Amino acid sequence: MNGASTIDGRLLGCVLAGGESKRFGTDKAMALLDGRTLLDRAVATLAAVCDAVVVAGRAQAPVRCVADWPQAGQGPLGGLAGALRDARTGEFAAVLTIGVDSIGLPDDFPAVLSPGPACLAAQPVVGLWPVSTLAVLEAILTGGERRSMLHFAERAGARLVEIANPPANINTPEDLARIVRDRG
């Protein structure tokens, strides 16, 4: 594992990329930033710090894809559940998640989130989730509980981590244009 030495055991990285991109208007994962798709950038971010990387919520990606669980349309929780189930069978200790649009993560974000469970308060899709949290997530997804990352974080006993400069969250083409302009 590269750069995440504070995490005990093998770490599976997961890009949560199953959103419908309604506000973006086209497939956000394929949008370009500095000549690379957001999906390629997210995969590279996780590949630098994880033992393996998967993409949840897509049929095609530059790395292996995992299906949302229990079915598509569950939002980031379904992608995380699919990744945690995959991690359990692959003997990983935890899953490090980011959104396909999580731009500007600090280099030390795995260490900032360790020990898990933990997520960024400003963007809870960026999180470190031990495989042991899977039972809580499955109960949420198969029961009548509220289906949100923050609710899951609370039920899993996750720390909500504040950082000085939270990553950008790209929901619209204007958000992406603003990032390009600010980098400019």
* Single-letter amino acid code for the residue at 120: L
The per-residue pLDDT for 24 is 78
Residue 163's φ and ψ, nearest 5 degrees, are: -125, 155
Q: How far apart are CA 58 and CA 46, in angstroms?
A: 17
11 close to 53: Cβ distance less than 8 angstroms: no
Q: pLDDT digits over 81-106, tens only?
A: 999 999 999 999 999 999 999 998 99
- Rounded to the nearest integer, the mean pLDDT of the chain is 91
The CATH code belonging to domain 11-15+27-183 is: 3.90.550.10
Would you kindly state where each structural domain of the chain is located, as residue ranges? 11-15+27-183
Please say if the pLDDT value at position 77 is more than 90: yes
The two tokens of residue 12 are 């599976």
Lookup result for tokens 């980031």? 76
Q: pLDDT digits over 109-168, tens only?
A: 999 999 999 999 999 999 999 999 999 999 999 998 899 999 999 999 999 999 998 888
- Going by pLDDT thresholds of 50, 70 and 90, the confidence category of residue 21 is low
- Going by pLDDT thresholds of 50, 70 and 90, the confidence category of residue 8 is confident
Lookup result for tokens 């795995």? 110
133 close to 84: Cβ distance less than 8 angstroms: yes
Region 65-90: mean pLDDT is 95
List the beta bridge partners of residue 94: 11, 130
The per-residue pLDDT for 4 is 43
CB-based contacts of 11, cutoff 8 Å, min separation 6: 1, 4, 49, 50, 51, 92, 93, 94, 95, 96, 110
The per-residue pLDDT for 184 is 66
The per-residue pLDDT for 181 is 85
